[in-house]
Amino acid sequence: MDIFTIIFWVIAVVLFVVSLMKNRNKTLAAMKKSKSMMGGMVGEIIAIIFLIGLVLTFIPPESIKTVLGSSNTFLSTVISAAVGSVTLIPAFVAFPLVGSLVDAGASIVPAVAFLTTLTMVGVVTFPLEKKEFGTKFAVTRNLFSFGFAIVIALAMGVVV
Amino acid sequence: MKIMAIIKKNKLIVFVAAAYGILLLASPDQALQSWRNSIYYLIEMLQVLPVIFLLTVVIEVLVPKEMITQGFGEKSGLKGNLLSLLLGSISAGPVYAAFPISKILLNKGASITNIVIILSSWAVIKIPMLANEVKFLGVKFMGIRWIMTVISIFVMGYLMALFVKTKDLPKPEMGSRENVLEIKQEYCIGCGICAKLLPEYYEIRDKKAVVKKMPQGKLQEAAIVETADKCPTKAIVLSMDE
């Protein structure tokens, strides 16, 4: 667990104890409520996690290197953004990967597009987002995120 | 019929299980590899979801609705946007962990713009991640990407609010449920505790408490349950349709 997760735990537990002391019955009622809300999500989340495992087997991080390093910048930017949308690579894998490419002289535009869609666009988590916030919200948010990832990437290419 | 209904309800789970089953037959090595890849995320989930659970409870109990509406609602303005950005940035865990929190904030009156800001910054801006980015790509790279991302997130929040309205969101399950609140007159001793706790819902008429209106939505449920518990003769009955 990194330090931030630990802090998160400490804050949550402390607040929870406060809420128990302040109003025991209301806390218990709220727990029942949260349980029913999150209970429905846990199965989906586990399914998503195993889906990520599958995706990583078929699109391993190393293969992303070839896409990011391709010479046609426009095409590789769009493909990188698409690959970033469907995969979910831990940050501690993604940054060294992209860092080594940029050091080797690859264009940063596809790299930025990839890094941004990696976290902001979630094709794998889409079913859950759709269930919780509705189709319109999920589709619009992911499309906008994809578009803005490309905009951020192009702007970075100009500025940096 | 029943099996079909279960499959339909758990489409994703069935789909992933089937994919693993097929892969296990076709290429056991890859199935094993996929399983191993998933373990990291499973651990991450186990570390984060209990915290999210506690936080949703805490928000429900300790944070009054007015505070959320003021802090994150339609009229919260730039201050609300910044607050949302801060909340998303200091959080821990993957984006799906943001869903329950966002949902509870939405139910308590947060605006769509601010929910989009929370979700996006929760996904993209993480302090440990920024540190990692500096390490491998440099301060300048990280800084410029951060600034552009924040601007994009804000613009996106406002654009989203133009396209997606509250009515497009699924109704909170809580509101769609039928709650029936009643007071058993034969038990009520007219002590007035319930009317004092929740004058909106109860009043004393002819020395007996009566229900003024039915609770709408789950938000009030906790408060109602509390009055039911406080009632000395247990005359208050709240029946919920699950």
CA atoms within 13 A on the CB side of A97: 23
Q: Is residue B54 part of a domain?
A: no
Does B160 lie in the same domain as B87?
yes
Residue B150 contacts A where some CB pair is shorter than 8 Å: no
Which residues, in sequence order, are CB contacts of A121 under 8 Å at separation 6+? A81, A84, A85, A142, A145, A146, A149
Does A143 lie in the same domain as A114?
yes
Percent of chain B with pLDDT over 90: 27
Among the partner-chain residues A30, A51, A108, the one whose CB lies closest to the CB of B61 is: A30
Does B99 lie in the same domain as B184?
no
Does A66 lie in the same domain as A38?
no
**In whole angstroms, how large is the CA radius of gyration of chain A?**
20
pLDDT score at B175: 42
For A153, the closest chain B residue by CA position comes to: B145
Helix (H, G, I), strand (E, B) or coil at A106: coil
Does A73 lie in the same domain as A25?
no
| pLDDT 10s digits, B48-105 | 889 989 998 998 888 888 888 888 988 888 999 999 999 888 877 788 888 989 988 9
Residue A10 contacts B where some CB pair is shorter than 8 Å: no
Region B223-227: mean pLDDT is 83
The answer to whether the Cβ–Cβ distance between B225 and A56 falls below 8 Å is no
The answer to whether the Cβ–Cβ distance between A137 and B164 falls below 8 Å is yes
Of residues A113 and A64, more confidently modeled: A113
The answer to whether the Cβ–Cβ distance between B95 and A156 falls below 8 Å is no
Does A70 lie in the same domain as A149?
yes
Does A152 lie in the same domain as A73?
yes
Which one, of B18, B221, B61, lies nearest residue A21 by Cα?
B61
The ipTM of this complex is: 0.87
Residues of chain A contacting residue B15, judged by C-beta atoms under 8 Å apart? 47
Does A70 lie in the same domain as A33?
no
The answer to whether the Cβ–Cβ distance between A88 and B41 falls below 8 Å is yes
Does B71 lie in the same domain as B163?
yes
Does B187 lie in the same domain as B214?
yes
CB atoms within 10 A of CB A7: 13
Does B208 lie in the same domain as B164?
no
Does B193 lie in the same domain as B162?
no
Residues of chain A contacting residue B42, judged by C-beta atoms under 8 Å apart? 46, 49
Does B123 lie in the same domain as B68?
yes
What's the mean per-residue pLDDT of chain A?
87
Task: State which amino acid sits at residue B228.
Answer: A
Q: Is residue A14 part of a domain?
A: yes
Of residues B171 and A59, more confidently modeled: A59
Q: Would you say the C-alpha torsion B141, B142, B147, B151 has a positive or negative sign?
A: positive
**In whole angstroms, how large is the CA radius of gyration of chain B?**
24
What's the mean per-residue pLDDT of chain B?
85
The answer to whether the Cβ–Cβ distance between B62 and A18 falls below 8 Å is yes
Ranges A70-84, A135-149, B121-135, most confident: A135-149
pLDDT score at B242: 37
- B215: domain range? 173-240
Does B164 lie in the same domain as B68?
yes
Q: How many domains does chain B have?
A: 3
Residue B18 contacts A where some CB pair is shorter than 8 Å: no
Residue A74 contacts B where some CB pair is shorter than 8 Å: no
- A28: domain range? 1-42
Question: Six-digit token pair at B232?
Answer: 């000395």
Does B120 lie in the same domain as B217?
no
Does A155 lie in the same domain as A78?
yes
Does B191 lie in the same domain as B161?
no
| pLDDT 10s digits, B120-177 | 999 888 877 888 888 888 899 999 999 999 999 999 999 999 998 888 888 765 444 4
Q: Which residue has the tokens 């089953």?
A: B21
- Rounded to the nearest angstrom, the minimum Cα separation between A158 and chain B is 11
pLDDT score at B155: 95
Q: Is residue A35 part of a domain?
A: yes
Q: Is residue B57 part of a domain?
A: no
pLDDT score at B240: 61
Does A68 lie in the same domain as A34?
no
Structural element, H or E, at residue A10: helix A3-22
Helices (H) and strands (E) in chain A, counts: 8, 0
| pLDDT 10s digits, B22-34 | 999 999 999 999 9
pTM: 0.76
- Rounded to the nearest angstrom, the minimum Cα separation between B186 and chain A is 25
Question: Six-digit token pair at A79?
Answer: 């493909």
Does B133 lie in the same domain as B68?
yes
Q: How many domains does chain A have?
A: 2
